[in-house]
């Protein structure tokens, strides 16, 4: 329904003049009573006007073609109706600017439409150069249009694959996961946060030496250590000759230290295994001592002396556990031989260092 508009002043005066003046031809100045001629039937009787007739009271006046009760309130059928509120003098939105001068009279935050129009702020919250009204991700400066992940651009492992589509969001080497974690490669293949959970992993050999020579070792004190044919074979189950012999190492003994550090940082634990031999007659303060480097100093790992019952000219396979202290990138091993005479043989063979992923 269109808003009522005031009558033009001249039209209103003309209407009043016609209502008050004498429209008859009798020449007087008095208004005549309106005449009434009733409708009649064919038989001369009076009748009431029927619905839809052009005379009397029609069901819908000729000025209202829409058929509703608001004569003249609608434009032609199907035409859009102007529902914009009529503005008069004043300040509709209370922003201190009169309606006549306000480009956004219903928006208290604006007096001009600006690039985003009335009712929207012309701001750029994420400062990406795109106004918020045109920015699908107004809080994410990296995006102005939503991606397959919406407005989330998280990439935890920095591999270029967004977390929402990355099956291994914490592993930069992979974006898809395996069905299980059956390989012993220190990789969480199925990306469930547990490594090699099937428990089938075997130790990984990180270093081994059968002492064909001493190229992997450095003598850091007495140089009496040498490779030779084993003194005795009782109980021996190693790889065979030669072996390393540290006899005639008196005083503080003879030290063999690995030349190249071993990287054990990817393992949760490790083991040192070796074959060792102490000839009968080794003194109680002599024998074989094994040390491991933990990153800050040498730590005693194992020791066998003449008083320990191992000086019986028999070969024994020994296993030394390496705990988390030694799971570092620069682990080293040191062997200390002490035998004061050439007849007090202290021998070692087949040194192996392993690491375990689980």
With vertex at residue 31, the alpha carbon angle to CA 29 and CA 33, rounded to the nearest 5 degrees, is 150
Residue 132 phi, psi (nearest 5)? -55, -30
Domain assignment of residue 352, yes or no: yes
- Pair 339, 292 in one domain: yes
Strand, helix or coil for residue 22: coil
> 279-306 as b/e, with b when 16 or more CB fall inside 10 Å?
beebbeebbbbbbbbbeeeebebbebbb
- Does one domain contain both 211 and 336? yes
Domain contains 12: no
Summarize pLDDT for 287-330 with one digit per residue, the tens.
899 999 999 999 999 999 887 666 789 999 999 999 999 999 99
**Domain match, 180 and 282 both:** no
DSSP label at residue 190: T
Give strand ranges (E) for the chain: 204-209, 217-219, 226-228, 243-245, 249-258, 269-278, 287-293, 298-305, 315-322, 333-339, 346-356
Does residue 234 share a domain with residue 302? yes
Give the pLDDT mean for 58-85: 49
Over 70: is that where the pLDDT of 232 sits?
yes
- Taking only the tens place, the pLDDT of each residue in 10-59 is 444 444 554 444 444 444 544 444 444 444 444 444 444 443 344 444 43
Region 61-66: what's the mean pLDDT? 43
- Contact between 330 and 175 (Cβ < 8 Å): no
Mark which of 143, 165, 194 sits at the end of a domain.
194
pLDDT in tens, 90-115: 888 888 888 888 889 888 888 888 89
- Residue 163's H or E segment, with its range, is none
Return d(Cα 334, Cα 225) in angstroms, integer.
Answer: 13
CA distances from 273 to 93, 224, 234, 242, 276 (A): 87, 23, 19, 17, 10
Looking at the structure, do residues 251 and 321 belong to the same domain, yes or no?
yes
Burial (CB count within 10 angstroms: exposed 0-12, middle 13-18, buried 19+), residue 161: middle
Give a yes or no: residue 1 inside a domain.
no
Give the span between the Cα atoms of 89 and 156, in whole angstroms: 59
Q: Are 257 and 173 part of one and the same domain?
A: no
Would you say 227 and 245 are in contact if contact means Cβ atoms under 8 Å apart? Answer: yes
Domains contained in the chain, number: 2
Residues 314 and 221 in one domain: yes
Residue 79, C-beta contacts closer than 8 angstroms, at least 6 positions apart: none
**What does the angle CA 347 – CA 353 – CA 358 come to, to the nearest 5 degrees?**
150
Q: Final residue of a domain: which of 167, 194, 221?
A: 194
Q: Which of 194, 218, 248 is the last residue of a domain?
A: 194
* 289 and 337 belong to one structural domain: yes
Residues 179 and 299 in one domain: no
In a domain, 292, yes or no: yes
Report yes or no on 337 lying in a domain: yes
Q: Is residue 92 part of a domain?
A: no
Residues 277, 309 within the same domain: yes
Range of the domain at 308: 204-356
pTM over 0.85: no
Q: Which of 309, 343, 100 is nearest to 232 (CA)?
A: 343
In order, the DSSP letters of 294-320 are: -SSSEEEEEEEETTTT--SS-EEEEEE
234 with 321, same domain?
Answer: yes
Report the chain's mean pLDDT, rounded to a whole number: 77
Is residue 25 included in any domain, yes or no? no
Q: What is the pLDDT of residues 173-198, one digit of tens each?
A: 778 877 766 667 667 776 777 766 66
Residues 218 and 324 in one domain: yes
Confidence check: pLDDT of 212 > 90:
yes
Residue 187: what pLDDT? Answer: 74
What the block records as the tokens of 303 is 């020791």
- The verdict on residue 127 lying in a domain is no
Residue 166 sits at φ, ψ, to 5 deg, of -95, 115
Domain CATH for 318: 2.60.120.260
User: Quick count: other Cβ atoms within 10 Å of Cβ 138?
Assistant: 19
Closest CA to 171 of 150, 148, 185, 155: 155
Strand partners of residue 337: 254, 288
């Amino acid at each position: 329904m269109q808003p009522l508009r005031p009558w033009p002043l001249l039209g209103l005066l003309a209407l009043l003049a016609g209502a008050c003046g004498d429209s008859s031809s009798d020449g007087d100045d008095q208004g005549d009573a309106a005449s009434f001629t009733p409708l009649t039937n064919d038989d001369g009787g009076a009748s009431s006007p029927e619905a839809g007739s052009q005379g009397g009271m029609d069901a819908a006046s000729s000025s209202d073609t829409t058929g509703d009760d608001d004569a003249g309130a609608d434009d032609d059928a199907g035409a859009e109706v102007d529902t914009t509120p009529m503005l008069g003098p004043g300040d509709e939105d209370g922003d201190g600017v009169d309606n006549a001068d306000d480009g956004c009279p219903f928006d208290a935050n604006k007096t001009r439409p600006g690039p985003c129009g009335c009712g929207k702020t012309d701001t750029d919250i994420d400062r990406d150069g795109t106004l918020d009204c045109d920015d699908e991700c107004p809080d994410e400066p990296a995006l102005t249009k939503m991606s397959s992940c919406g407005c989330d651009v998280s990439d935890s492992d920095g591999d270029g694959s967004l977390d929402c589509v990355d099956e291994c969001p914490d592993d930069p080497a992979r974006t898809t996961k395996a069905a299980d974690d059956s390989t012993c490669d220190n990789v969480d293949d199925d990306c469930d946060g547990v490594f090699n959970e099937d428990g089938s992993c075997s130790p990984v050999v990180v270093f081994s030496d059968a002492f064909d020579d001493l190229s992997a070792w450095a003598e850091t004190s007495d140089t009496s250590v040498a490779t030779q044919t084993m003194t005795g074979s009782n109980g021996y189950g190693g790889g065979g000759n030669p072996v390393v012999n540290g006899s005639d190492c008196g005083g503080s003994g003879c030290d063999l230290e690995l030349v190249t550090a071993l990287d054990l940082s990817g393992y949760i634990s490790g083991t040192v295994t070796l074959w060792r031999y102490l000839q009968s007659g080794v003194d109680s303060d002599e024998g074989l001592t094994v040390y491991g480097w933990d990153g800050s100093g040498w730590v005693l790992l194992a020791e066998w002396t003449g008083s320990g019952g191992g000086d019986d000219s028999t070969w024994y396979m020994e296993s030394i556990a390496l705990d988390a202290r030694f799971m570092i990138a620069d682990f080293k091993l040191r062997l200390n031989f002490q035998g004061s005479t050439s007849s007090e043989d202290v021998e070692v063979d087949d040194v192996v260092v392993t690491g375990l992923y689980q």
